Amino acid sequence: MNPGATAAGDILQPGPLPNRLQLTPEGRLRHLLTVEGLSRELVTEILDTAESFANMNEKAVKKVPLLRGKTVVNLFFEASTRTRTTFELAAKRLSADVLNINVSTSSAVKGESLLDTLRNLEAMNVDMFVVRHQESGAAHFMARHAEPGINILNAGDGRHAHPTQALLDMFTIRRFKGDFTRLKVAIVGDILHSRVARSQIHALNILQTGEVRVVAPHSLLPAQVQDLGVQVFHDLEQGLRDVDVVIMLRLQRERMEHAHLPSEHEYFQLFGLTRRRLHVAQPDCLVMHPGPANRGVEIDSAVADGAQSVILQQVTFGIAVRMAVMSMVMGVGGA
């Protein structure tokens, strides 16, 4: 592969050994590209560091000076208001300067390669890139070619990984449930196309979760998904029985056009989370969703807004988790 000719739309494959890129020789975070391969101790350290930032909303001044003088670039080739906004807030609460690049109006659309984009922004003396890209491996590519001292955070790449989403989900579960080893967790929906599900599965297994389930129709499950360390269910009520946490995934409407599913209505009838279906789970089962939720497709509004839902808490905790990751990759620790 000629990296100089790699354009934003080209397919980029993640490296086989991401930890060689994302960890220092001492085992500290240099970049965050994937949760796959991280140690339980390091994931726990990220969550513990996030705890030190979690109560900043209650303070009169919601800032700490840990990244003062640093510049963070949000480089989003895919639109995502929630993820970009929480990364921006996290950086600003660490006192960093933030630059948001609107790729849809940038030279990348005119055919500039991803490497050219990286080099031009590096010339502006920035310190960190938060990268979201439609192709798997884009963040790994940037990490391989970034100048020393520049940190890369993966904000979602293709179907591959969304590490900070998985980490904020783990933080949310730990806040409400504590010990992962006693938990049964079900991930429900479009597992096949979901980078979030892949990262969640890795994170749950790293934290030694008692049982990890995936629940989906055959057409929305990857081949050999059980090799990831999950139990597979094709019936929602069976998959939800006695679980402590259920994570619903967004059904991507574009998949309907490729005949993966006959209709949204039929999907909701079979796999939509309703109060009645939730009754087979534990009485205090948490309901989670990475957002944005399609109400009436994967989840009923009564459940999304119900007492067991922690969907809004996920958003709040996402800021603390992203603050933790940013501070750790730059070697400055917690609050």
192-212 pLDDT, tens digit per residue, is 989 999 999 999 999 999 999
The confidence band for 6, taking pLDDT boundaries of 50, 70 and 90, is very low
Per DSSP (E only), the strands in 180-299 are: 184-188, 211-215, 231-233, 245-248, 286-288
Q: What is the pTM of this model?
A: 0.91
Do 267 and 134 fall within a single domain?
Answer: no
Query: Which residue has tokens 């009564």?
Result: 302
List the CATH number of the domain containing 286. Answer: 3.40.50.1370
User: 329 pLDDT exceeds 70?
Assistant: yes
Do 311 and 171 fall within a single domain?
Answer: yes
pLDDT at res. 333: 66
Interval 33-50 mean pLDDT: 96
Do 139 and 168 fall within a single domain?
Answer: no
List active site positions. Answer: 82-83, 110, 132, 162
Closest CA to 274 of 307, 250, 249, 296: 296
Cα 239 to its chain centre, rounded Å, is 23
Supply the range of the domain harboring residue 112.
3-158+318-329
Do 26 and 74 fall within a single domain?
Answer: yes
Per DSSP (E only), the strands in 216-290 are: 231-233, 245-248, 286-288
User: 5 pLDDT exceeds 50?
Assistant: no
What are 182's two structure tokens? 């006693």
pLDDT at res. 103: 76
> For residue 304, what are the CA distances in angstroms to 70, 155, 194, 287, 301?
38, 24, 20, 8, 5
Do 130 and 174 fall within a single domain?
Answer: no
More confident residue, 2 or 231: 231
What's the pLDDT tens digit per position in 7-21? 333 334 454 457 888
> Per the structure, how many domains does the chain have?
2
Q: What share of the chain is helix, strand, coil (3-state, %, to 5)?
A: 45, 15, 40
pLDDT at res. 31: 97
Residue 334 lies in a domain: no
Interval 133-145 mean pLDDT: 92
